[in-house]
Structure 1
């Protein structure tokens, strides 16, 4: 069994209306790669060249961008650290592997034993291929004493990244990113080139096949058409935006009986092309009537209490932290199956007056003086 042990990097957390933004700070954590020969890397100490720990540290010490929006929470050292292990140690392709995620107290090393239920689960695990062409949203089972386990299958060889999203009881929400590769794949950075989807009138549209929860590769499900309208268009970095999804059947007829999924009428996960910016958004109140919304009042909107059914329109409030391309996955449930639709959207440079007022677009780069956390 191969184990990677690291202290969760400092993360900037911003509550953007209905969205949680996570930006990984540039601080390497304590990591241990346990193989036949164990290598231990102390915090901020350079690992031996060519070691697995050196490769892991290079990947987790991301530079980052902070949004200085007025609603942002202060960045803080995380209270926990994550221990990730896979069995078999070399993760196979096309075959099940069991992942263990151990959550320990960052100071004492003791297991964190109590977690809060957030959207029906103790942990949400987002897994993507590093080129962002593959996505899964799964829920490890809590075994007690800080240990979560899940058995899952990766469809192809390559580099992957996961985001473990959990809330220790009585503490703030934490998101721990971790990069890994399948058996026989050399670790290393993956260049991601995203091209924004083309508009068809006011919408972007995709045909997708519904699948059982956690099984995006499953075949034979019903086909749906999912449309996305970014609001406003074009979107601007640092400015309030809406992602207006509309779910239709294979013939383009709006689906009006969507079911709640994990305590909401939908979920939206958004990643920047470099995977360093992670946003998880949920529908906003008044977001399912399909009518135009007053963008100036977006900051006053509240989370929607999910009805027993709804649709076809599901709207998510978000704010892109920096200019660039982002991939957004919308997830919805209909007749017990999950509808997952992915779109690439662009956020343009912030307006000069908005940048001056909010500081949007500020990016901390490697070599800059460290932030006070």
Structure 2
């Protein structure tokens, strides 16, 4: 009887251990299905680093950092050289002194006219005490918007902007309308743009296909421009939505250059693609409607 009872108890113990081992093995697989997502840092105006190396910066109201744009001469006159200072500080007015390289530069400065017909991508030099400086000029009188794009040390990608008034003769404003055909010829290059989607908030791939305009041969020897095959800047027609997008494959050499982004809302947007070939940087603009 005792032997029978011992056999029964041993059987129950073995079944219990097998059941416990099965549960442990099942739990070992939990927690490994991880989705890689982009996150915006609420403490900074803009942020985002995706798994493909793309980089969007979306302008939002600044909480922790501020930029002061000032011209040394006080008054800016069209076609004249002007010294522009950009002072970066925190919300308490303390200067921000340390910055990280972002595609070979401490700051990218984008300048556009109100109708987006003028575009300039330049790089101020860091002076000291949170101040950047650059000499620039404006082709006509009127309103321009300047965007400073930088990364404070240990922080996220940040974009701060301001409208500036330029004195001088103003030209007629151009309408910002979507292109009927997304093919442009610039500096002897024929560039075609395709979008994988035209819906707001979709993850969209922008593909630039670059050919020689005369021979129609594919250009496959694009050079690195600021550490990448190209750069893309996107603005909404009111210049309120700003995206600076880096390529999915930075070391690509053409003829295709792909960029991944997302348009924050429906509307009309202007896209500038910038590339380098045979030592020369060329900029190709497109206007698209996003639904």
- The two structures have a TM-score, normalised by structure 1, of 0.62
Q: What residue in structure 2 maps to residue 237 of structure 1?
A: 200
In the alignment of these two chains, the number of paired residues is: 244
Q: Relative to structure 1, is the Cα distance of residues 157 and 272 closer, same or farther in structure 2, using a 3 angstrom cutoff? A: same
Distance 1:271 1:262 in 2: 20
SS in 2 for 1:142: strand
Distance 2:106 2:59 in 1: 22
Instruction: Please say which of residues 165-174 and 79-88 is displaced more in the overlay.
Output: 79-88
Aligned pair 1:329/2:278, yes or no? no
Distance 1:181 1:23 in 2: 20
Q: Relative to structure 1, is the Cα distance of residues 145 and 135 closer, same or farther in structure 2, using a 3 angstrom cutoff? A: same
Distance 2:143 2:58 in 1: 21
1:270·1:327 contact (CA, 8 Å) conserved in 2? yes
Q: Which of 146, 156, 171 is 2:130 aligned to?
A: 146
Q: Deviations over 1:180-200 (max 9, x none)?
A: 1111579xxx9874211113x
Q: Which of 142, 149, 160 is 1:176 aligned to?
A: 160
SS in 2 for 1:20: coil
Q: Deviations over 1:312-340 (max 9, x none)?
A: 10011111111111000000011111110
Q: What residue in structure 2 maps to residue 224 of structure 1?
A: 189
Distance 1:255 1:335 in 2: 11
1:207·1:224 contact (CA, 8 Å) conserved in 2? yes
RMSD value over aligned CA atoms? 2.2
Distance 2:212 2:96 in 1: 44
Distance 1:127 1:311 in 2: 27
Deviation for aligned residue 1:11: 6.6
Q: What residue in structure 1 maps to residue 76 of structure 2?
A: 91
Q: What residue in structure 2 maps to residue 106 of structure 1?
A: 91
Q: How does 1:215-294 map to 2 (within 5 A)?
A: 223-232=188-197, 235-251=198-214, 252-284=216-248
List gaps (5 residues or longer) in structure 2. 1-42
Q: Deviations over 1:141-186 (max 9, x none)?
A: 0112111000011111111001101111112221101101111579
Distance 1:148 1:183 in 2: 23
Q: How does 1:311-350 map to 2 (within 5 A)?
A: 311-348=254-291
Structure whose CA Rg is larger: 2
SS in 1 for 2:235: strand
Q: What residue in structure 2 maps to residue 36 of structure 1?
A: none
Q: Relative to structure 1, is the Cα distance of residues 346 and 192 closer, same or farther in structure 2, using a 3 angstrom cutoff? A: same
Q: Relative to structure 1, is the Cα distance of residues 14 and 180 closer, same or farther in structure 2, using a 3 angstrom cutoff? A: same
Q: Which of 47, 56, 61 is 1:20 aligned to?
A: 56
Distance 1:19 1:271 in 2: 15
2:59·2:160 contact (CA, 8 Å) conserved in 1? no
SS in 1 for 2:152: coil
2:65·2:90 contact (CA, 8 Å) conserved in 1? yes
Q: Which runs of 4+ in 1 moved over 6 A?
A: none
1:268·1:282 contact (CA, 8 Å) conserved in 2? yes
Aligned pair 1:206/2:184, yes or no? yes
2:64·2:91 contact (CA, 8 Å) conserved in 1? yes
Distance 1:23 1:148 in 2: 20
Deviation for aligned residue 1:244: 0.7
1:192·1:273 contact (CA, 8 Å) conserved in 2? no
Q: Relative to structure 1, is the Cα distance of residues 336 and 280 closer, same or farther in structure 2, using a 3 angstrom cutoff? A: same
